Amino acid sequence: MAVTPPTDAELNTMIRARLASLGIDLDQLPAGTTADPVTGSPGRDSVLASLRSFVRSSVTNLASFQMPAPAGSDPAHAAALSQQPAPMLYPSISTEWRR
């Protein structure tokens, strides 16, 4: 069943709640869409709009990416995906100990 995409209001609530759970209060930024004249920091409404766009694009697209099934496994079986290669923070460095 397709998931209904979140509305702007739902995303605003999610974004604020996620940040608040980390201890980040968006209200530190100026209200509205006007940047802080001293620091250039954007207004919180501008930031929220940008963050909504980020969630709808990068977060969603990364979450939907499916790694290919490992060679020799049946891609029709989701279980095969549990045998994906381990993630690598430093792929170039890993070549030295994966020779």
Q: Does 82 bind other proteins (CB under 8 A)?
A: no
CB 92 → other proteins: shortest distance, Å?
4
Site string for other proteins, 50-69 (x = CB under 8 A): xx--xx-xxx-xxx-x-xx-
Q: For the stretch 29-59, what's the b/e string if a residue is b when 16 or more beta carbons lie within 10 angstroms of its beta carbon?
A: bbeeeeeeeeeeebbbbbbbbebbeeeeeee
Q: What is the DSSP letter of 41?
A: P
Cα→Cα distances 71→12, 35, 42, 68, 85, Å = 42, 52, 48, 9, 11
CA-to-CA distance for 58 and 21, rounded, in angstroms?
21
Which of 72, 85 has the CB closer to other proteins? 85
Q: Does 89 bind other proteins (CB under 8 A)?
A: yes
CB 84 → other proteins: shortest distance, Å?
6
Binding site for other proteins (CB under 8 A): 15, 18-19, 22-26, 28-29, 35-36, 38-42, 46-47, 50-51, 54-55, 57-59, 61-63, 65, 67-68, 84-97
